[in-house]
Amino acid sequence: RASAQKPEEVIRRYMEVVSAVPDEDCIICMDQLSNPSGYEAGSPEESSQSIGPGSVGKFVRCGHTLHMLCMLAMYNNGTKDGSLQCPSCKTIYGEKTGTQPKGKMEIYSIGQSLPGHPDCGTIQIIYSIPPGIQGPEHPNPGQPFTCRGFPRFCFLPDNDKGRKVLELLKVAWMRRLIFTVGTSSTTGEPDTVVWNGIHHKTEMMSNLSGHGYPDPNYLDNVLSELASQGVTEDCLRA
């Protein structure tokens, strides 16, 4: 899963060194860019590609500037999956992956229509994740995690937009972005499998919970939540 690329190479792939350092602060350490980053440089034996504390980098697409060593420290603190996210504007470089535990995503079709989508049937997604032991990417490695309310049943209208959302959810599932291990904000339970910011509709015939239908904005909202994780229509063309 974790990419074999050296962290320094990942930074260099998506940031270019700027020679004229702008009179701005680094968004990570809050110190001026003209001062060196406070983070340690790489070990001397890696010095051929190591990044110096004075290096200021600029993201290739969004153009935001920060200390390259600060960005390297942030990368090393995460899942080290070969992707970077600009801390200023959240632009994603490469393919962001998450920490969702192993499980199963199944898809069924239901004849009945959802409230607000009278002209089509329904897609049902069933997520199953069994309890297990947390890996190094989780909050408490080696400790068990629980799985409450699984299997979880989710619903989409079976129309063009709903099917597009389904395809993007499949990409998000493969990239381990749908669930994570953490503390449930609903129950307060720690070390449990929780939703990870891509909202799902778990109630089919009403919207008493706020997680049901009708909800005319739902498909657009979930498309933008997917996009903020780097999952867009481009992923389907590739």
Alpha-carbon Rg for the chain in angstroms: 21
Site for ligand NAD in 132-161 (CB under 6 A): 148-149
Q: Count CB-CB contacts under 10 A for residue 62.
A: 13
Name the binder of 187 from ligand NAD, Zn ion, none, CB < 5-8 A by kind.
Answer: ligand NAD
Token pair recorded at residue 219: 């498909």
State the alpha helices, DSSP H only, in the chain: 7-14, 68-77, 160-174, 218-228, 234-237
Residue 202 interacts with ligand NAD (CB under 6 A)?
Answer: yes
How many beta carbons lie within 10 A of that of residue 218, not counting itself?
A: 25
Are 134 and 146 in contact by the 8 Å Cβ rule? The answer is no
**Site pattern 10..29 for ligand NAD (x: CB under 6 A):** --------------------
Residue from 14, 39, 155, 195 in contact with ligand NAD (CB under 6 A): 195
The piece of 7-15, 36-44, 89-97, 183-191 that touches ligand NAD (CB under 6 A) is 183-191
What secondary structure letter does DSSP report for 57? E
For the window 21-60, what string marks contact with Zn ion as x by the rule CB under 5 A?
-----x-xx-------x-----------------------
Q: Which does 165 bind (CB under 5 to 8 A by kind): Zn ion, ligand NAD, none?
A: none
Place of tokens 């980053």: 37
Distance of CA 108 to the CA centre of its chain: 25
Considering beta carbons, is residue 88 or 113 the nearer one to Zn ion?
88
The reply on whether position 186 binds ligand NAD by CB under 6 A is yes
Give the one entry of Zn ion, ligand NAD, none that residue 48 binds, where binding means its C-beta sits below a cut-off of 5 to 8 angstroms depending on kind. none
